[in-house]
Structure formats: structure tokens, C-alpha cells
Amino acid sequence: MIEARSLGKVFPDRTRPVVAVEDVSFQCAPGEIYGLLGANGAGKTTTMRLLATMLRPTSGTAIVGGFDVVREPEQARRCLGFLSTATALYGRLTAFEMVQYFGRLHGLTDGEIASRASDLFGRLDMNEFRDRRCEKLSTGQKQKVSITRTLIHDPPVMIFDEPTNGLDVMSARTIVAFVRECRAAGKAVIYSTHIMSEADKLCDRIGIIHGGRLLAEGTAASLKSAHGGGDLEDAFVAIVDAASC
């Protein structure tokens, strides 16, 4: 379960403070994919970082897996898996060592890590490059290692920040399939993207974010019908334009 409660983030600046996120509230239930759809600079990454406790909100809070991100950030992080194109791998570690490192940081014993890694490596067809250094892996193989890294502790909450950015079609498909598996496994999934088709296909509910504010929320179908009956892009543009006027 994820619940953002009036989340706000203001970055101090020499000239004037920058409001990155303002009064953002939403909920994501277990077994649901909640999409955060917005253009570049809309506040998606900041919101995701606030949920993942990498940034501390300047107002409001969020509950992740039952823990308050402001008061209990370490416990909140134990409940979540975070994946973005910015979450790279340690090139000098092997695929298994990378996963093992995160397993240990999550407090798993080496026995638990071995058994869980064996299952995940098998499912994702990773045994061939298990002991190869991450720097020598292809983009697709790296994505699989990242996925395993986020799943090693079997978190109830998954946060994806534009995970398919810059990836080729095949690698992007691996990610999308993985996101669906997470939903099927009953995890609460937050998925940020600026790709309309991806949000349309993947997300159960979508929140449209612009200028740091959540402008609209609903299923893809309800958003489309409420804003002219076109595709999601038309609905998105209509919502953003209405807010800008």
C-alpha cells in the first residue's frame, strides 16, 4: 500500500525557491499499478524520490508499506524496490554479487539470498551471466540484474521511475512484463512515465502531474472520456492546457 498525503517539495535556490512538488495526494492499493504521467520537469522524479525516501518532503508525507517516509525512512525502504534508468549497477561486481549485496543490506541471511537468487536467476534466465561482471553485460542483461536487485527481498511495494527511458524495444518489454508480474504478485506499483502508450497499456489508474501538481486522476478510459473521448495524449494535453489557462 502506498499513500501520498499532500506531498510537497521545495528546493532552496539563491534567487527564489523552486517548487518541485506541491500538495500531491494519491493512493495505490496492493495488486494495482498507479501511473504518474507527466512531461519532463513535471515533478515525477521528485515525487518518486520522495516516496523512496531519497528526498525528504518539505510538506506532507507518504506512507509506504505502512511506514511513514518522514519518521521511519529506513523501515519504509525495507518495504520497497526502486528501479529507474538512473539506478545503475556496480560495474566491478558480478551479477550475483550485486544481488547479494542488496540482499545483505536488506538484512537477509546468505542462505536466504542464495535460495531466492537461485529462483530469480532461473526465472529471468540469468544463470549464464551470473558470475560475469556487470560492466561486461549487455543493456538487457543489466536490466535483468536490476530487476533481481529490486526483488531479492520480495518487497510489497515497487517504485519505477521512467524505467524504460532510453531502452531498446526488447529491454523495455522485459521491464513492462516484469511490472505486470509485480502486479500479479499483489505488489503495490507506482510507475512514472512520459510515454502515453505505456501508461495507457500498463496502468490501472493514472495521475496526471504538471508543474508539480496532480491535475487529474482516474483510469485511462475515464480520463479519455472526460476530456473529449480521444486518446490519452489528447486527454493529457486538454488537462494540462486547462490548468495553464
Partner 1 sequence: MSPVFTVYRKELKDILRDRRTIISMLVVPVVVMPIIMLLFSGVSAKLVQSALEQVPEVTLLGAEDSPRIREALASNKGLKLIPPTADYAARISNKSLRAAVELPRDFDHRIGQATETVPVKIYYYQGELRSGFAAEAIEKCLRDYRDQVLIDRLAVRGLPPDFTRPLNTTRQNVAPAEKVGGNFIGSVLPYIVILLCLTGALYPALDLTAGEKERGTMETILSSPASRTQLVLGKFFVVLTASIVTALCSLLSMTTIFLVSRGLFGLAIQGKVSLGTFTVAPGAVLAVLVLLVPLAVLFSALLLALGTFARSFKEAQSYAGPLILVAILPAVAGLLPGVEMSPGLAFIPILNLSLVSKEIFTGAFPWGYIALVFASTCLYAALALWFAARMFNRESVLFRT
**Which residues would be at the binding site for partner 1 (CB under 8 A)?**
11-12, 49, 52, 54-56, 73-75, 77-78, 80-82, 84, 86-93, 97, 101-102, 104-107, 149
Please classify residue 1 by burial: count the beta carbons closer than 10 Å to its beta carbon, then call 0-12 exposed, 13-18 middle and 19+ buried.
middle
Residue 58 vs 222, nearer CB to partner 1: 58
Tell me which long-range contacts 194-200 makes (C-beta under 8 A, separation of at least 24): 194/37, 194/38, 194/39, 194/40, 194/42, 194/44, 194/162, 195/164, 196/37, 196/231, 196/232, 196/233, 196/236, 197/232, 198/164, 199/35, 199/37, 199/232, 200/231, 200/232
| Least Cβ distance, residue 2 to partner 1 (angstroms) | 15
CB atoms within 10 A of CB 96: 21
At its nearest, how many Å lie between partner 1 and the CB of residue 84?
A: 7
Q: Which is nearer to partner 1, 6 or 11 (CB)?
A: 11
CB of 75 to partner 1, least distance (A): 8
Q: Which is nearer to partner 1, 149 or 205 (CB)?
A: 149
| CB of residue 78 to partner 1, shortest distance in Å | 5
C-beta of 87 vs 115, nearer to partner 1 = 87
Q: Which is nearer to partner 1, 104 or 213 (CB)?
A: 104
CB 9, min distance to partner 1, A:
9
Residues 195, 205, 171, 53: is their CA dihedral positive or negative?
A: positive
